[in-house]
Amino acid sequence: MAENTVDATLWCRSPLPAPDAPVRLVCFPHAGGAASYYHPVALALTPDVEVLAIQYPGRQDRHTEPCVDDIGTLADHVHDALRDRLDRPVVFFGHSMGALVAFEVARRMERDGGGPVHLFASGRRAPSRYRHETVHQRDDDGLVAELRSMSGTDSRVLEDEEVLRLVLPALRSDYRAVETYRHEPGASVRCPVTVLVGDDDPKTTLDEGRAWGEHTTGAFDMQVFPGGHFYLTDRATDVIEVLRARLKSAANQPDREPA
């Protein structure tokens, strides 16, 4: 196994360590999001599941570090950071931008002979479904308008100029990463993929969600919830139950760490 070239403790956060859990859920945040977004997931699933949340640079306790504005580069770093955390079956969950990062990390792990036993892609159209978007080129007011339209950011953050100054650079970088991402033709994973999407999501139509089926040679299914891009805020209990069912099955599977 290759030696780590990144500090895994910076990238991988375990809100509630569960060393005896039979399965690990790795969660990838949305654009502008942070590892702390998944603390409620850890509260709901621990101790049966160990939740590991990815912390991208440029936010919260990593706010002094340069942001990474390329999905492939992010995936390379996360792939490296996860090398020593494959001691049990691993499931990936990514929301919005996080779904793309999770997909690319899964591809890298599978090239090594391992990989997650299941991938959840939430609130994001399939890698092959492209839209021309230029949110990252807007001024700060334009970025804030985008945040408001997605209804995924606490209104207190949007009204606090000092906090916004801290958040906007990471948000702009993340949007640049998403909007300039181009999948490798024919890119797919071997693991089963479950898509979760809101039925009124302006960023992902149901057809764009179903297209994830083209990116796995494993099983595919899609769960549709009432709501928009951040449907999972209002449907947290339902989403947790979907995760719980798949994680229970994953716990009984052998891990896919390379020999």
Dihedral-angle region of residue 125 (phi above 0 means left; psi in -120 to 50 means alpha; beta otherwise): beta
2 vs 143, which has greater pLDDT?
143
Counted residue by residue, the chain has a size of 259
pLDDT for residue 148 is more than 90:
no
Determine which one of 14, 36, 96, 155 is catalytic. 96
| Residue 157 pLDDT grade (very low, low, confident, very high; cuts 50, 70, 90) | low
For range 231-251, the mean pLDDT: 92
Gyration radius of the chain over CA positions: 17
Contact between residue 256 and residue 106 where contact means Cβ atoms under 8 Å apart = no
4 vs 130, which has greater pLDDT?
130
pLDDT value of position 258: 43
Between β-strands 220-225 and 193-198, what pairing exists: parallel, antiparallel or unpaired?
parallel
Residue pLDDT, tens place only, 13-48: 999 999 999 999 999 999 989 999 999 999 999 999
Residue pLDDT, tens place only, 205-227: 999 999 999 999 999 999 999 99
pLDDT for residue 103 is more than 90:
yes
pLDDT for residue 87 is more than 70:
yes
Residue pLDDT, tens place only, 41-85: 999 999 999 999 999 999 999 999 999 999 999 999 999 999 999
CA 192 from centre of chain:
16
User: CA-to-CA distance for 196 and 182, rounded, in angstroms?
Assistant: 21
Q: Which of 46-55, 94-103, 163-172 has the lowest mean pLDDT?
A: 163-172
Instruction: Give domain limits for the chain.
Output: 8-250
Place of tokens 């991208």: 56
**Percentage of the chain modeled with pLDDT above 90:** 77
96 is catalytic: yes
Tell me which CATH homologous superfamily contains domain 8-250. Answer: Alpha/Beta hydrolase fold, catalytic domain (3.40.50.1820)
Nearest Cα neighbor of 175 from 147, 201, 208 is: 147
| Strand, coil or helix: 29 | coil
Burial class (CB in 10 A: 0-12, 13-18, 19+), 244: middle
Q: Which of 20-34, 104-118, 241-255 has the lowest mean pLDDT?
A: 241-255
For range 138-144, the mean pLDDT: 85
Contact between residue 89 and residue 254 where contact means Cβ atoms under 8 Å apart = yes
Cα 207 to Cα 49, 70, 159, 212, 259: the distances in Å are 32, 26, 36, 9, 38
pLDDT value of position 166: 76
Alpha helices in the chain, H assignment, sequence order: 8-11, 39-45, 71-81, 97-111, 140-150, 155-158, 161-179, 206-210, 231-234, 236-250
pLDDT for residue 257 is more than 50:
no
pLDDT value of position 97: 97
Whole-number average pLDDT of the chain: 90
pLDDT for residue 200 is more than 50:
yes
Contact between residue 208 and residue 130 where contact means Cβ atoms under 8 Å apart = no
